[in-house]
Chains A and B, each alone.
Chain A
C-alpha cells in the first residue's frame, strides 16, 4: 500500500500554489487534506484532484494566549470548501481585533501561508491561509 498523497508531497503542491486532494472512486467524496481511507464509505481507490480553494467560514476563533513560540493574536477559521471537505486555517488580511460572529457564512479564498515549525515539529511548513472574497 502506498499512502495516496503524503504530507511531503502535499507540501510540494502548496509550494506550487496548488491544493491537491483525492477523490474517492467509490462515492465521489473529495478528501482534503488527502487520506488513505474514505471516511464516508471506506473506499481506498482514489484519483488526485485539484481544489479551487473557494469556501465558506463555518466557525472561527481569535487565539489570544498562544502556544510557546507563536505571537498572538491571530484568527483561526474552519472553512467548508466548495468541493465538500472542511479545513482548518488562518484568516489573513483582517485585523483579529475586528472579527466577530459576522464572519460565519462569509466566502473566502485559500492561499498557502508559511509558518515556522518548532522544537516539537521541526521544519518550515505551508498551511492553508484564507482571505475574505
Chain B
C-alpha cells in the first residue's frame, strides 16, 4: 500500500472538517474523490501532503508511519529528515497551478530534481524534455508561465510533479480553473498517466472523467466518507441517499 490514512481527524479552530476518515491507496490505483463544496476534499489532500497537520489518526507512506496519534494525546509527526524523505513519495497538482513565474517552463521542471534531489542536471534535463514532449509542450521549454494558457500551465505543473518521480500523485481539482476547451487537454494527460499505472488520487467535479478513469470513487460529505466503491457502484447504483442527491444535481 502506497498511502494509508487511518481515522483522520482535522479541526480548524472549533470547526471539525474531517471526521474519522480512512483512506488507503494501493500501487497503480486511481482514486477519485467527489463531493460538494466544503465537504473536506481539499483538506484531506492537504493533510495527506502535510500542508495541514492532522489532529487525530495516522498517516503512513509505503508502510512507514510518519504521523500517529497516541491514545489521548496530540498527533506526533516524524522528524525533519524522515519527513523530507517521505515527501519524496508524493506530488501534488494544485487547482491554480502555482508554477514559479520567474522560472522558464524547463527550469520549473528541472529546479527541484537538481536542487532538492541533487540529481545530475544533464540527465534531469533529458528527462524534463521527455516529459514536456509527453505533455505536448516540447516547443514551450523556454517560455515563461505567463506566456502559457491555463491548460498548458497545468500540464507543466503535472510535468514538474512527475519529474521528481513520485510514487503517488494527488490532484486537487486540476481543471476547475480552466475553460471547458482546456479541461480536456489536461484530463487526457491524466488519463494517459492512469493507463501507465500511475498511482493517483484525484479530487474532481468532472463526473464523467472520474467514472472513466478511476478504479475507486469516494463520495465525501460534511467531512465524512459517505460512500465508496467502483465507479459503477457509486455512479450507477449509489446506496446512500446523500450520494443519490448529490449525483442528481450533476445530471
Q: Please indicate whether A and B come from the same complex rather than being unrelated chains.
A: no
